[in-house]
Structures are given as C-alpha cells and as structure tokens.
Amino acid sequence: MIEAELKARVHSPEAVMRLLDERVEARVEVYQDTYYDRPDGSLEKRDQELRLRTVRGAAGPRTANGLTGLRTVLTFKGATVDEASGSKPEHETRVEDSEAAHAILRGLGYVPAIAFEKWCRNYDFEARGRQLLATLVRVPEIDGTFLEVETIVDEDDVTAALDDIRAVLADLGIGPEDLTRELYTDAVAAQRR
C-alpha cells in the first residue's frame, strides 16, 4: 500500500484548525519519533525510512506530561513512488513494548539516526469518497506549522488520490505554493548543527 500524502506550510494555523474542527473532533497527540538506520546510512541512501513512534494522546491513563494514552508503532517506508509529493509505500504495525522494540532494532544492528517530538492535531474524516487523515503539526525545534493530508491507496490510485488531497487542501485555503517536500528529519538535523 502507498501513503499518498501532501504536506504544506500553514500561514494561518488558526483558520485551518477552525475549518478542520468543523468537520470532525481532533485527536491531540504528541509523537516521539526515533528514526533508525544502518551504521553506513544505507536506508537513507535508498530513500527508505525505519521509524519507531510512541504516541501519547487522548485515551488511557494520564502520564506525567498531562497527556493520556500510549501506543507505539513501528513503520517502514520504501522509496518514493511519486517525486512531486514524496509519497511512499508504507508498512506499519503496532508494537506492544516500545523499549523492547528499541532493543530489538539495536540488536539487529540499526542505530538511532535522529529522534524528536511532534505536536499533532489529527483529524480523521471522509472527503471525495476517501478516508483521509489531516494532521496539523508543530515540531518544537523548527519554525512554522505544517499540514499533512494523507490516505492509503494502491499504487495505481496515487495520482487520483493526490488530486483529491489537493482539492481538500484548497477547501482549507492551502494552495500549490504552500506545498513542501521538506522533511522534519532534515529540518531538525539542520537546527541541531
């Protein structure tokens, strides 16, 4: 399956948030992302990603930071299939024990390449006949607010899905000039240098 996704820089986050809030209630979550690679950087060289994400959010016992809920997801993303959007094949599964998953990855020879936090407002809704996830994102280490809109499709549906996502973005006041392929990993790494 392919994660057909477009990302944009948002110039009026409050306006976009209002429009999304009119569609569906948001899930406010904090992601702690750790990206792994081989010591030689071969995953990055092949345009692949291996990520372990711990999500704190809206369901479950309250944690020290005031958020509730906890889940961990292991994700592998293959090489880009659509250069304009950066859309990639994605394989994802829930992990029961995040510390064990980190230990397994290290035991297999992977090393943490970069880790950072993302503050997210997630909106699951249907538009144009598709299940979409729109996420307003702030990464404390970089300037700006971003909007990601994605759906999971077969490879032969990527172009049509991206057209539908562009239409949803337009409904939210986001134009083609706002789109970006900037990666959070690269932006955070640049800030830390």
CB environment 16-26: b (16+ within 10 A), e (fewer): bbeebeebeeb
Confidence category of residue 60, pLDDT binned at 50, 70, 90: very low
Split into its structural domains, the chain has a count of 1
pLDDT given at position 58: 60
pLDDT given at position 104: 98
Strand partners, 34: 52, 115
Rounded mean pLDDT of 104-129? Answer: 97
- Say which CATH number the domain at 57 has: 2.40.320.10
Rounded mean pLDDT of 132-157? Answer: 97
Query: pLDDT, tens digit, for every residue of 64-85?
Result: 545 456 899 999 999 999 999 9
Query: pLDDT, tens digit, for every residue of 15-56?
Result: 999 999 999 999 999 999 999 999 999 999 999 999 999 999
Are 180 and 147 in contact by the 8 Å Cβ rule? The answer is: no
11-15, 57-61, 86-90, 127-131: which has the minimum mean pLDDT? 57-61
Distance CA 125, CA 23 (A): 7
Query: pLDDT, tens digit, for every residue of 145-174?
Result: 999 999 999 999 999 999 999 999 999 999
Average pLDDT of the chain, as a whole number: 94
pLDDT given at position 67: 47
- Domain limits for position 15: 2-192
Confidence category of residue 57, pLDDT binned at 50, 70, 90: confident
